Amino acid sequence: MKIDFKGITAEELSFKINRVRLNPEDKLDIKPQFSRQVRKVNNNEKLNFVALSVKIESTEAEPKPFDINVTLVGIFEVSDVKNDAEERSFVIEATKNIYPYLRSAVTNLTASAYIAPLNLPIITGPLFPEDREQYAFTVGSNLN
């Protein structure tokens, strides 16, 4: 399988401050929610779009000082995919390629809003739980 990273674009970058009173002794639990969508181009089976999103939303039960919604789309040309396992490996690799850009976008977005920049964690393995079994099989390690 051959993967060629063609580029990345921002589909959504939104930040909204919430006027929430938090007690200084309360620990703020941000809990970012990640999602991913993979699309192929109809007339070009080799061209793939992988959208990676992170959302942080305030709720009444779990107030947060801000709402963030960031979606970045990576453009990939993939050839010589022989089976579903290779297709899955591509999706995992594409996610790993896009994630650092997503981290940077969130940090820059919060810094641009003149608040303490939010740094999402560095993730060395798969981001999504459903990818961990495939990843462990592919690299021959155990990621419990």
Tokens of 118: 């939010």
Query: CA-CA distance, 66 to 2, in Å (whole number)?
Result: 40
Query: CA-CA distance, 144 to 132, in Å (whole number)?
Result: 8
Query: CA-CA distance, 54 to 36, in Å (whole number)?
Result: 9
Pick 29 or 51 by higher pLDDT. 51
Query: CA-CA distance, 13 to 54, in Å (whole number)?
Result: 10
Look at the alpha carbons of 115, 68, 93, 40 in this order and tell me if their dihedral is positive or negative.
negative
Give the pLDDT score at 54: 97
Q: Which residues pair with 68 in a beta bridge?
A: 15, 56
Has residue 141 got a pLDDT over 60?
no
Spell out the residues 6+ positions from residue 116 whose beta carbon is closer than 8 angstroms to its own: 110
Has residue 144 got a pLDDT over 50?
no
DSSP state letter for 127: S
Residue ranges per structural domain of the chain: 2-139
CATH fold for the domain made of 2-139: Bacterial Protein-export protein SecB (3.10.420)
Predicted structure pTM score: 0.86
Tens of pLDDT, residues 62-112: 888 899 999 999 999 999 888 988 999 999 999 999 999 999 999 999 999
Give the pLDDT score at 143: 37
